[in-house]
Amino acid sequence: MFHFECPPMPHFVQIGQDTYSIGRKHPDRSSIGVFDLLFVTGGCLYLAEGEHELTLPAGHFGILRPDLEHRSVHPCREETHFYWLHFQTTGLWHPEPYDKEPLPPEQEPLYPPIEYFSFYLPRTGSVQSLGVTAEQFEELLALYENPSGNSRWREQQLFHALLSRLQEDSKEDTAQSAHLQLAEEAALYLRKHYRDPLSYKRMADELHFHPNYIALCMKRTFGCTPLDYVTQYRIEQAKRLLIHTNEPVGTIGEETGFGSFPYFVRCFHKRTGKTPKQFRLLYRQNKAST
């Protein structure tokens, strides 16, 4: 599973198709700089990425990372047709389970006025609607080979529709999908109730799972505990109020669920490297000078 932090969404680069005769191999490559999406419609590809082998029979797709070695394990044993599609992102991404270390405060943007969200892609899977998916690849291929005035914009639209199709159709491991779904539900719960004191029992009753399992799913998906998640969300809400209102700092701390003024200041400084008052003054001074 790949986890993309959006925006930006992954973007389409190029597409093609190929037919391998019996005995032909996919070329070995290393660190090609783009994600390589392969969709097999006939035959089978036998690949490996690092130490992980990847067998793609007809009706299956696989996504190879841009930063690892790809190689063939076996030559094709029958005529094999497949589409290949290169895409990339300028945003943050990582493979599951979560392995990204948080940025230190001085490297975090002080006030990014963007609502970020997670986008997940299975590393491999089968598709239920083989014909429809093949048609989407063909449509994107035709547009790429015969560009028009607005083709670049249309290519990205078709590409995102294709990713959505692969998400819906792929038969991803149910246990892995379950942990992602629970983590997203827990995150939604925390965003809805960020003004309230965090109660693990109340959250567990709402989501019908043990608190330890909820925390494990969030750690695996977001790289943080429920407390870390809601604390960061509270800080983002506090930033908005510090910039756009004249409410006292203590009032903002209470409104965003921190409970006490010292705790609010301590958490805010730990996450941003500045006190709430320093943050407010810095932003307003910057705005006044522009």
In this structure, is the dihedral angle defined by the CA atoms of residues 23, 29, 32 and 38, taken in order, positive or negative? Answer: positive
Beta-strand (E) ranges in 107-228? 117-121, 124-126
The alpha carbon torsion through 78, 79, 83, 86 (nearest 10 deg) reads: 60
Domain annotation for the chain: domains and CATH numbers: 2-169 (2.60.120.280), 173-290 (1.10.10.60)
pLDDT for residue 169 = 76
Low-confidence ranges of the chain (pLDDT < 70): 96-116, 170-176, 285-290
Question: Which residues, at least 6 apart from 84, have a Cβ–Cβ distance to it below 8 Å?
Answer: 15, 16, 17, 18, 36, 37, 38, 39
pLDDT for residue 188 = 93
Task: Supply the DSSP symbol for 170.
Answer: -
pLDDT for residue 220 = 82
Cα 109 to Cα 272: distance, rounded to the nearest angstrom: 9
Residue 171: C-alpha distances to residues 133, 179, 202 (Å): 14, 15, 33
Cα 78 to Cα 175: distance, rounded to the nearest angstrom: 33
pLDDT for residue 219 = 87
pLDDT for residue 118 = 76
**Contact present, 229 and 222 (Cβ < 8 Å):** yes
pLDDT tens readout for residues 94-145: 886 555 544 444 444 444 555 667 788 888 888 888 888 999 999 999 999 9
